Structure 1
Amino acid sequence: MKLRNVFASALAIAVLSAAASAAPGHKPGEGHDHPEETAYGKPGDPKKPARIVQIVFREDDGKMLFLPNNLKVRKGEQIRFQLRNNGVLDHEFVVGTVEENLKHMKEMEKNPDMEHDDPNAKRLKPKATGEIVWQFTKAGTFDFSCLIPGHRQAGMFGTIIVE
């Protein structure tokens, strides 16, 4: 009987320790201590300095646009994207590789109401604002796109060059 109680206590301690190691509001393993790095960087730290880049979403004469749609970033630089949807439609901003964004765009065609809750993506209603903090840890040419069906095809994409 004593052995069973010791085992139960050890199991309870292990479960509580695992839960405590996760950041508040996150599932275990989703804390911000070791953010997952991608080919185009990793989630930034909002508490650290970052260069502010304002991105405006809009529609104009049948085109959908990001302004600006071309950025240069230094390797290792952290960017605070301040996003503003000046359009009359929902739009989103997704940072990734061209290949990843094109693949995800195909998935979005099958599920057009899919909403992103990722550190590299933000969907905004008309006249809304939002923010993404991202650190570009690798050199290369990367993409940002609106992956709502038809939007990228209407011109809503841009390029990030990391040197």
Structure 2
Amino acid sequence: MFLQNRLVLAACLLTLSLGLEASPAHSYDFGQPATATKTTRSIEVVMGDMSFDPKAIEIKAGETVRFVLVNKGQLLHEFNLGDAAMHARHQQEMLQMQQSGMLMPTGMKAMDHGSMAAKGHGMKHDDPNSVLVEPGKTVELTWTFTKATNLEFACNVPGHYQAGMVGKLTVSQ
């Protein structure tokens, strides 16, 4: 047992020394990702350059919604579920991705995440409440909303939220 604990500690220290970030379990107080087979309703959201249509969505707590996200714009866009504070934090992460050259105007650049991690960059776009949609593409995100709350759906590509690419998502009882 003593040896096993020392091996676990050594592995943790090695991971930290390489600059790798442990991937925390994603948890959200407003719900969780779901499979398309659990869908109770589908909602199409069209992304233009700096706009969402519709601008507001109403959902009932307990619903599993499949968002069909259609990017009709010329730029890469994101569909991210969260509150304003979550979006503010994520905007900083997206800015870092852009500054590193990983996030381009029309897509994500394929990068060697292993070498990025070794350089202290643990960046990747893998939150379950968020998807990137390239111009002309359609992507789906399925989510079960567990409680009544007020949220936003937003594009956090640098400058897009500030240009008005945000909508209201109301989850009622």
Question: Structure 2 length normalisation: TM-score?
Answer: 0.68
Q: 2:85 aligns with which of 74, 99, 106?
A: 99
Q: Per the alignment, in what secondary structure is the counterpart of residue 132 of structure 1?
A: strand
Q: Which amino acid aligns with 1:136?
A: F
Task: Check the 8 A contact 1:55/1:68 in 2, yes or no.
Answer: yes
Task: Check the 8 A contact 1:108/1:149 in 2, yes or no.
Answer: yes
- Deviation of 1:45 (Å): 2.6
**What is the number of residues matched between the two proteins?**
127
Deviation readout 1:117-145 (Å, 9 max, x if unpaired) = 23211111110000000011011101111
Q: 1:57 aligns with which of 47, 56, 75?
A: 47
Residue correspondence of structure 1 range 63-102 to structure 2 within 5 A: 64-102=50-88
Alignment partner of 1:129 is 2:119: no
- Mean Cα deviation higher: 89-98 or 115-124: 115-124
Write the distance in 2 (CA, Å) between the matches of 1:124 and 1:36.
Answer: 21
Measured on the aligned residues, the alpha-carbon RMSD in Å equals 2.0
Task: Check the 8 A contact 2:62/2:144 in 1, yes or no.
Answer: yes
Alignment partner of 1:109 is 2:118: no
- Deviation of 1:115 (Å): 5.3
Question: Structure 1 length normalisation: TM-score?
Answer: 0.72
Paired position in structure 2 for 1:43: 33
Paired position in structure 2 for 1:160: 169
Identity between Structure 1 and Structure 2 (%) = 38
> Gaps spanning 5+ residues in structure 1: where?
1-29
Deviation readout 1:42-82 (Å, 9 max, x if unpaired) = 112322232000000002xxxx1010020110011110000
Q: Per the alignment, in what secondary structure is the counterpart of residue 103 of structure 1?
A: helix
Write the distance in 1 (CA, Å) between the matches of 2:93 and 2:61.
Answer: 30
Alpha carbons of 1:125 and 1:115: their partners in 2 closer, same or farther (altered >3 Å)? farther
Write the distance in 1 (CA, Å) between the matches of 2:85 and 2:162.
Answer: 15
Task: Check the 8 A contact 2:94/2:157 in 1, yes or no.
Answer: yes
- Deviation of 1:110 (Å): 2.6
Write the distance in 1 (CA, Å) between the matches of 2:40 and 2:26.
Answer: 19
Deviation readout 1:18-43 (Å, 9 max, x if unpaired) = xxxxxxxxxxxx9xxxx954122111
